[in-house]
Amino acid sequence: MSDQVNKFLGDSVGRTLVKLLVVSLIVGFIMAVFGWAPLDFIYGFRNFVLEVWHRGFSALGRVGDYLLLGATIVIPVFLLIRLFSYRR
């Protein structure tokens, strides 16, 4: 059972917890510098849904543009990562 958990986490439980703590500290610091709070993201998503609803879904045109723009970077990087990890 422990071996399956380690395989799922990618490392031992203790090392994974330490990594998560370090990343959480860094992200928390960056969010504090910019004055962001977790509820800002929730309210932002809620406001986005309300905007789309009130504007009659015409706002989704921008989202499609952003999706394609981001996909031009994300998909090739994903494929490269998968190719390099496949050879191991």
Task: Tell me the pLDDT tens digit for each residue of 11-62.
Answer: 888 888 898 899 999 999 999 999 989 899 899 989 988 887 777 766 567 7
Torsion on CA atoms 22, 23, 24, 29, rounded to nearest 10: 90
Between the alpha carbon of residue 74 and those of residues 27, 60, 69, 79, the distances in Å are 21, 20, 9, 9
Give the pLDDT confidence score for residue 26 in this predicted structure: 92
Give the pLDDT confidence score for residue 57 in this predicted structure: 65
pLDDT band, residue 87 (cuts 50/70/90) = low
Give the pLDDT confidence score for residue 51 in this predicted structure: 82
Give the pLDDT confidence score for residue 24 in this predicted structure: 92
Give the pLDDT confidence score for residue 86 in this predicted structure: 65
